[in-house]
Structure 1
Amino acid sequence: MSNVVDGDLTVAEGPGVPRLKGRGTPWRERFFELSLLASLAVGVIFLGGLLMYVVVEGWPRLDSRLWTNFPDLINPANAGAQSAITGTIWVIGFTALYCLPTGVLTAIYLEEYADPNRWWNRAIEINIQNLAAVPSIVYGILGLGIISRGLGFGQTVLTASLTLSLLVLPVVIIAAREAIRAVPQSIRQASLALGATQWQTIWRQVLPAAVPGMATGSILALSRAIGEAAPLLLLGGLTFITFNPTGVHSQFTVLPIQIFNWISQSRAEFTALASAAIVILLVILLAMNSLAIWLRNHYSRRW
């Protein structure tokens, strides 16, 4: 084997494919890499410190009282967040019911059926991309003016879930489109060549292959919705409720609003309650993200 030196590269010649060996990493690249690592370390350290503070502060109240008792502004020792936890499950459940089918069907239309040369399809794509960057408070104003007051749904679970559905719908559509686009065209062509219709190809070949990406994007979008407080505060999500929702027309409160209410109180006992509720919310988020990772790993395919 012989080595040929050409500028800053050493070419290793021999049987097989030639390899390029760099003489060394330039100091600019090394500095940039160290800067990235330092930025990552700062973020991880601050995040770890915040998590540690929240866990230590809320540890005395991380017991069954937190999820079995209702809020109590007079006796914080017996106060809990059962109504907020139940309300969160109700709101996020109906948010998923409304936005996931709509988002997936929209992505299928835009990727498989829509003509990109038509002006209305281009307008839809531009609006979806723009809506993904709109602040959540704007969706709260929209939900208050149109859904709550215009349609007469009031301060209910239905209003909250529809508003959060509008909030995360662009994210679901974008994630589903990327997952569908990642399926190779050869899969579609082979299915069509065997006599399958376009819908049969989409239903039996494209969608099963796109499930990991769509599921991951959808769960991450719902993870964003579960932590939103600003739009629900505008919608009148009550901070003190001592009952669980019984339907879509029930009044509600959610964990972010309950945390906001407790942290606003002057007594130190409510600070511990708020920290414990934050831990519960983080556990729910980690469970949803773990489900997304499992779905991606379980259904992923290598092309």
Structure 2
Amino acid sequence: MDLIAQYWPFVAGLMVTGVVSGIAAGLLGIGGGAIIVPALGTALSVMGYDSDVVQHVAVGTSLAIIIPTGIVSARSHYKRGALDVATLRLWVPFIVAGTFIGGLVAGFFSGDVLRVVFAVMAFLIAANIVFGFQTKVMGHLHGSAVTHRISASVVGFISALMGIGGGSLSVPTLVAFGASMHAAVGTSAAIGVAIAVSGTLGFVLSGWGVAGLPPLSLGYVNLVALALVAVLAALCAPLGAALAHRLNQQTLKYVFAGFLVLVGLNMVWKVLAG
């Protein structure tokens, strides 16, 4: 009974995280990592784990959770005709390479470095969504396969360090290249699966044998959190996808931007408080 009393808040928190991240995955075309990473990191910190290990486990586990969530979300968007298969094929090989490298090198960075990367990128992405500077800079390059490949590699690398499915980066990039918001969200959900698979492998390898990890962890991927959050997130992703197609594109953009600002502020607070 004492063991149950000790862990039930952690389990309950993970279940709520799964529901919210699943809806976010379908709604915004993200893997839910922007919710999972801070939520899981907070839960592990409360349980007394070292701050550096906490952030790495939160990021690595988030990537693993995104795999089933992204598959369900992408399938829902595909049924609605909002998934660009040609763009997906162009992006996947390069995004896989960038993500794998990011997952491997993440082990060399401290937890606070990963938090700062997360926060800075969240603010930049939100500003880009509101002011559209990426479209002005890259819009004329939408027909260049080389630009797509370079973008995919960069998105993959940064996504691995943030522990996200890449939607925060790939959605505005695809919009800049001329895709509609709905098509960008749907295609991004599928791209997130490739990011998650490659990034998870990188975090398993970079965290293998590291001391102080939570029980039942493979490298920086915790299997307990993976099971609890992944199931609920995958079940709830279609709800978010259905909601996304009820909103107009402008509303969806501002929801996305506001969400990222809140997440970035949360990460800044964690760094300063630490």
Indicate the structure with greater helix content: 2
User: Between Structure 1 and Structure 2, whose CA radius of gyration is higher?
Assistant: 1
TM-score (ref. length: structure 1)? 0.30
